Amino acid sequence: MSELQAVVGAEAQELGDGRTLSNRELLRALLRKPQFVACSLLLLLFFTMAAVPKLFTSVDPRFCELTRSRQGRSAGHPFGFDIQGCDYFANVVHGARPSVLVSICASFGVFVLAGSLGLLAGYFPGFVDGLISRTADVLFSVPGIVVLIVILNSVPNRSIWIIVGVILLIGWPGGMRLMRATVFSVRNREYVLAARSIGVPPVRILRKHVFPNAMAPLLAMTTLGIGGMVGLEAALTFLGVGLQPPSISWGSQFGVAAAYRDTPHLFIWPALFISTMTISFMIIGDSIRDALDPKLLR
């Protein structure tokens, strides 16, 4: 996960030199891209599914008849049945909520946390940087997945929020380091040096000059990283520390189905939904990055 953030973050690192777009300009630029519009609509669909699953299916996902376990599709059951003999379409639709919540909340949280800490660390070398960077080192130098497994094994009840919290805990150092590196190069840029030399107070420099330039890559990075969170949720189920029933989520559907390869429909549907959502987020992230890239502005 942090690897993906790293790629995307660093990829977007050199963005926004010197000039930034207003929100309105950004939106206009984005809406000109058909792939952005298409993916936004897809995401909107997923979000609606997460918010109001009943719009998509009237079948109770918890009504299960074990005798229909793993049956293929039939009238009224377009995705067939899952291992428990519950309607799989209803389950996949209802599975959107935890998956969307985990990925969005964790990503947003990491964005805020990594962004603000990275900004501070990058701009104030010395004590502040030392404190933040060393803390990051501590968290970073333990493989994140180890911390995940240990903590999730210890908590009495693995809820969405605990999973989000643990992802936040191990997720921020990656983003912070990249943000710090970005700020590092931005703070030595001519316009920052100029602002500093004429006595502009640090808070204002951070707000007006450093943050806008450093925010762009982080935004793109966050959008691009969201998909990985859904994959991570599936990996947690594989490792035995995922969401517990009766929660229904794509990750756990996928993690459970990975062991039943002889019933491909169990595997394909959540994998398809996870991948579609991930790709949508990535294309959107890509579009934002392109739109923010001053060298591409014509």
Partner 1 sequence: MALGLSLVLASCGDGKSSGSGSGNGVKSEIIAIAADPLEYINPLNENGSPGIQVAMAMFAPLVTTDPETGKTVNVLADSVTPDKSSQTWTIKLKAGNTFQNGQPLTAKDYVDSWNMTAQGSNAWKNNGFFSKVEGYDALNPETPDGATPKPTAVKTLSGLKQIDDLTFSVKLKVPFSQFGLTLQYLGLAPLPEEVRKDPDAYKRKPIGNGPFKLDGTWNAGEDIKLVRWDGYKGPNPPAADAITYRFIPNADTAYNEFLAGNVDFVDVPSTKVKSFKTDAPDQWVTSVSSGANYLVVPAWDARFKNPKLRHAFSMAIDRKAFADLVGLAEPAKGLIAPDMAGYRDDACEYCEFDAAKAKQLLQESGGFSGPLNINYNTTSATGQIFAEAIGNMLRQNLGLEVKYTGKQGSEITELADTRKLDGLRFSGWGHDYPSIEDYLTPMFKSNGDANFSGYDNPALDSVLAKGDAEPDSDKAIAIYQQAEDIALEDMPLIPLYTKSNAYLHSAKIEPRVSKYTGVSALYSTFK
Partner 2 sequence: MIRFVLRRILTAIPIGLIVTLGVFALVFAMPGDPLRELAGDKPIPAAVLAAKRAQFHLDDPFIVQYLLSMKDILTGNFGTTFAGADIRDQLALRIPVTLKLTLLANAFQWTLGLFFGIYAGFKRNGLIDKSLLLATLVLLAVPGLVAYFAAQYVFGVELKWFPVSGVLEGFPKSYLLPALVIGVLGFAGLARLMRTSIVETVNADFVKTARAKGLGEQRVLWRHILPNALLPIVTFVGIDLAGMFGGAIITESIFNLPGLGQFMFQAIKLKEGGVVVLLSTLAFISFILINLLVDLLYGVLDPRVRNV
Contact residue for partner 2 among 26, 64, 149, 169 (CB under 8 A): 149
The residues near 289 (Cβ < 8 Å, ≥ 6 apart) are 11, 12, 15, 216, 217, 220, 224
Q: How many CA atoms lie within 13 A of 253 on its CB side?
A: 36
298, interface contact from partner 1, partner 2, none, CB < 5-8 Å by kind: none
As given in the structure block, the two tokens for residue 240 are: 């035995």
- What is the H or E stretch that residue 287 is in? helix 264-292
DSSP per position, 26-69: HHHHHHT-HHHHHHHHHHHHHHHHHH-GGGT--S-TT-B-GGGT
* 157 lies in the site for partner 2, by CB under 8 A: no
Q: How far is the CB of 71 from partner 2 (least distance, A)?
A: 23
Q: Which is nearer to partner 2, 48 or 153 (CB)?
A: 153
Q: How far is the CB of 176 from partner 2 (least distance, A)?
A: 12
By CB under 8 A, name the binding residues for partner 1: 62-67, 69-70, 83-86, 153, 156-158, 240-241, 244-246, 256, 259-263
Contact present, 276 and 101 (Cβ < 8 Å): no
Q: How far is the CB of 258 from partner 1 (least distance, A)?
A: 9
Q: How far is the CB of 68 from partner 1 (least distance, A)?
A: 9
Site string for partner 2, 119-138 (x = CB under 8 A): -----------x---x--xx
Q: How far is the CB of 72 from partner 1 (least distance, A)?
A: 14
Please list the alpha-helical segments (H only) found in 155-263: 160-186, 190-197, 202-205, 211-238, 250-257
* 295 lies in the site for partner 2, by CB under 8 A: yes
Contact residue for partner 2 among 238, 247, 263, 265 (CB under 8 A): 238
**How far is Cα 81 from Cα 72, in angstroms, rounded to an integer?**
6
As given in the structure block, the two tokens for residue 36 are: 């952005």
* 261 lies in the site for partner 2, by CB under 8 A: yes
